[in-house]
Structure 1
Amino acid sequence: MSQQPPHPHAPGGQEAPTVSLRSSATYGPPPPLHGGGAAAGPPTGTNLMAILSVVFAFVFSPLGIVFGIVGRGQTRRTGQPGRGLATFGLVLSVVFLVVGVAATLYLTVLAAQFASSVPVDVPDQPAVSAPADPTEPADPSGPVATGPAGTATVGVADGDYGPEVPSEALAEQVGAQTGATDVICPGYLPAQVDASTTCSGTLDGQQAQLDNRVTGVEGAEATVEITRVG
């Protein structure tokens, strides 16, 4: 220990104590924390699952429901923005899914009803007509039998254009030879070979057309061949 000279004011010439003021503490910045950096804050930006839930609500609603549920869980756990968007995507996906299922059921029922209303193809069967009842009268609208109906001899008279077969006499002979009624003949038939005219009348309950053709003329008489043409 070093010797200090006596203090001049110390009584009895004794040595006064010396006090050394020294700080054993060293001041300075606190030691750095292990890990190198401040604590990380909440993630920024809208949650990706929330965005996908809205997108897939229009594309594939079941997947949009899954993304909406996951997005709500992530935003609740981390505090990341997008919880409302995830809820909207979830609700929208559920609505679209319900509407799609209802539309599918409706179209299925409609298709089943349409299929049941379509007749099943049945192979064509040959038509079989019922036997005719002999007690019933013949159908007047049936096919008409045409062909020669008879030959008549009619007197020839002088007309404005020469010898002719009078229409009244011709109609009378046509009715007599064929059995037709209400026979009406045109007003002029020349008394010449191959001259012809058509009379009309009622035969067998049907309207009949009777062709009259002059086949010969001898003196005051003409021979007329009668043929039914309709």
Structure 2
Amino acid sequence: MSDPTANVPPSEPTPPPASAAPTYQAQPAPVYAQQKQSFAYGAPAGPGPETFNVLAIVSFVSAFVVSLAAVICGHIALSQIKKTGEKGRGLAIAGLVIGYAGILVGLTGAIVAFVSLFVLVQADPNMLSGQ
């Protein structure tokens, strides 16, 4: 008996139908160790959560010298911190509190001095004339 497939030349593999799309397995992205970035001394660091707001620092420092500047800078710093997410919210609030307290003490002192001068002039009207 002879084999009927013996005289048939080997056929090429049939390609898959055109409607069958190739399937690929999604590979997870490789995980690399994150390296810390080191910045050179004096290199500007961009605004972000690792930097302090400059106006917050100015507000806190100026609260001990010029209270009005501390209040103004503190309010601007809080607005900027809310938008940018920088650090320094506590410094800005401390500058505001100390600045408002300084303004209050200054106004109270001015009122006390004015009232004292008024009372002294009423007690002795010739006090300011130099007689």
Percent sequence identity is: 27
Aligned to 2:9: 15
Measured on the aligned residues, the alpha-carbon RMSD in Å equals 2.9
Distance in 2, matches of 1:41 and 1:54, equals 20
Counterpart code for 1:98? L
| Equivalent residue number for residue 61 of structure 2 | 55
Question: 94, 97, 121: which is aligned to 1:115?
Answer: 121
Contact residue 72 and residue 83 of structure 1 kept, 8 A? yes
Q: Distance in 1 between matches of 2:97 and 2:9?
A: 94
Normalised by the length of structure 2, the TM-score is 0.60
How many residues are matched?
Answer: 96
Q: CA deviation at 1:43?
A: 4.5
**1:77 Cα offset (Å):** 2.5
Rg: which structure is higher? 1
What TM-score comes out, normalization by structure 1 length? Answer: 0.36
SS in 2 for 1:113: helix
State the 4+ residue runs in structure 1 displaced beyond 6 angstroms: none
Structure number having the greater strand percentage: 1
Higher relative contact order (CA closer than 8 Å, sequence separation 6+): 2
Distance 1:11 1:76, change over 3 A: same
Name the CA shift for 1:15/1:91 in 2 (closer, same or farther; >3 Å): same
Whole-angstrom distance in 1 between the partners of 2:6 and 2:110: 120
* Cα distance in 2 between the residues matched to 1:93 and 1:41: 26
Partners of 2:7 and 2:75 in 1: CA distance: 93
